[in-house]
């Protein structure tokens, strides 16, 4: 299991990589749009511009969430991750709506604007797809190892970017090969739908976390199994969890022999707490000790 320091380092690296790649993609697609006039490239550019803004906010949230607890934030600052994720979802949803509107207007128009310089446009979009794929692979690895919600949300954005990027390549090829410039608007509509779906998924996840939703069932079951088998624990109750960003806050009541010393009872509780945090490094655990057979 990774230590909290290692998790923080990986999360920072994913945030920095996201901002860097987003900046490069915006510059490349802006040039490609100026050369081709392609709406599907415009859709991909808008998505990347949103990603640059969102990635910057995400990196800020990652750094802020890593600040230790203080007097005003006794449980830390990890809820910043959920707030930023919700903002990400709203931005992407608005962008998808704007792209869908423009694409629909073009489809309903009497004439479709022709595309130009399809070859250079295709080259730029292929390079964009390769950069995006590399970033997604790194973010997926980090998100799986750390459970960071902002990194996971950013990864979903860039997975969504691959669709518009590949769609733009297809639209440019169809225009160059067969003169089908109308395919550009159709692919932009599909890209907008993909972006909207991803935004809803991300937004719901952030909303549930902000509403103190319980940890995933597998984590709750795992904690219960550790508590049930821990030496000296005769039973447990009131196992409650809530999530905030990548952190899981755990409250657990354990039932102990009331005739043993306070030192012995403390050792049992402390050992159980360490075991839970070793199994789930993202957990913040509070254990209450009750007398077995009473209450």
pLDDT of residue 26: 87
pLDDT at 74: 47
Longest dimension (CA), the chain: 88
pLDDT digits (tens, 9 = 90+) for 47-97: 677 778 777 777 777 776 666 655 555 455 556 666 766 776 787 788 778
Strand arrangement, sheet containing 235-244: 235-244, 247-256, 283-291
The Cα–Cα gap between 53 and 42 comes to 16
Spell out the residues 6+ positions from residue 262 whose beta carbon is closer than 8 angstroms to its own.
Answer: none
Rounded to 10 degrees, the C-alpha dihedral 52/204/147/278 comes to 150
Place of tokens 């950013």: 154
**Nearest-angstrom CA–CA distance, 191 and 174:** 17
Angle at 274 between CA 271 and CA 280, to 5 degrees: 145
| Interatomic CA distance for residues 2 and 100, integer angstroms | 43
User: How do residues 238-263 score in pLDDT, each as one tens digit?
Assistant: 898 887 766 788 999 999 998 889 99
pLDDT of residue 223: 92
Place of tokens 């549930």: 208
Q: Which residues of the chain have pLDDT under 50?
A: 74
């Amino acid at each position: 299991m990774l230590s909290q320091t290692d998790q923080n380092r990986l999360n920072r690296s994913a945030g920095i990589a996201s901002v860097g790649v987003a900046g490069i993609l915006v510059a490349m697609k802006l040039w490609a749009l100026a050369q081709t006039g392609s709406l599907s490239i415009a859709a991909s550019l808008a998505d990347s511009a949103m990603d640059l803004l969102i990635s910057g906010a995400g990196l800020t949230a990652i750094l802020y969430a890593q600040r230790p607890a203080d007097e005003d934030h006794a449980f830390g600052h990890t809820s910043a991750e959920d707030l930023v994720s919700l903002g990400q979802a709203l931005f992407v949803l608005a962008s998808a709506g704007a792209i869908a509107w423009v694409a629909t207007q073009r489809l309903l128009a009497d004439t479709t604007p022709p595309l130009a310089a399809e070859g250079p446009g295709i080259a730029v979009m292929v390079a964009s797809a390769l950069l995006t794929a590399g970033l997604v692979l790194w973010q997926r690895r980090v998100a799986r190892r750390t459970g960071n919600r902002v990194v996971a949300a950013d990864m979903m954005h860039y997975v969504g970017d691959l669709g518009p990027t590949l769609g733009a390549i297809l639209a440019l090829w169809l225009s160059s090969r067969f003169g089908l410039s109308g395919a550009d608007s159709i692919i932009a509509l599909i890209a907008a739908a993909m972006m909207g779906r991803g935004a809803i998924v991300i937004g719901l996840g952030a909303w549930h976390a902000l509403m103190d939703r319980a940890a995933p069932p597998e984590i709750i079951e795992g904690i219960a199994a550790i508590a049930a088998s821990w030496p000296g624990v005769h039973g447990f109750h009131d196992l409650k969890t809530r999530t905030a960003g990548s952190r899981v806050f755990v409250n657990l009541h354990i039932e102990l022999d009331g005739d043993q010393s306070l030192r012995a009872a403390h050792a049992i509780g402390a050992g159980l707490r360490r075991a839970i945090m070793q199994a789930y490094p993202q957990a913040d655990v509070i254990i209450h000790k009750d007398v077995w057979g009473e209450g």
